[in-house]
Amino acid sequence: MPVTIEDRPGAYRRLLVVCPLHEQCSKRRNTGAAQCRNFGHHEPLWFAGAWLRGGQSRDRGGHRAFVPSLADVRAFGDNGQWRFDEALGGGGAAAASGSGGGSAGNGAAGA
């Protein structure tokens, strides 16, 4: 996935995802607690993936304006191809505990 981390020490950290389908098309997502409250520490990356997926059915303007819903983000995380803990050598779902869960398939918002 074409993602870059923008680190602003003392301010915030956010992801920048660049669309491979449209010129000059990108989206940013902060990585703070508010952006991780529904699905844990994976949520900003799942959001980026859901946003990229949304570009397949939109023109550039529509894609830039698109904001994935919680259902879109959950569906991307649950799709089985997005397993960060395993890919990074972590302990799977057990290592993904914390704010809001964080492992694929574990839960609904507000659960």
Residue 88 in any domain: the answer is yes
Per the structure, the count of domains in the chain is: 1
Using a cut of 0.85, tell me whether the model's pTM lies above it: no
Cβ partners under 8 Å of residue 16, min gap 6: 3, 4, 5, 6, 26, 27, 28
Residue 86 in any domain: the answer is yes
Could you list the pLDDT tens digit for every one of the 111 residues in the chain? 578 888 888 778 999 999 999 999 999 999 999 999 999 988 999 999 899 999 999 999 999 999 999 999 999 888 765 554 444 344 433 333 333 333 333 333 332
Residue 48 in any domain: the answer is yes
Residue 78 in any domain: the answer is yes
Domain, as residue range, for 40: 32-96
Q: How far apart are CA 98 and CA 50, in angstroms?
A: 22
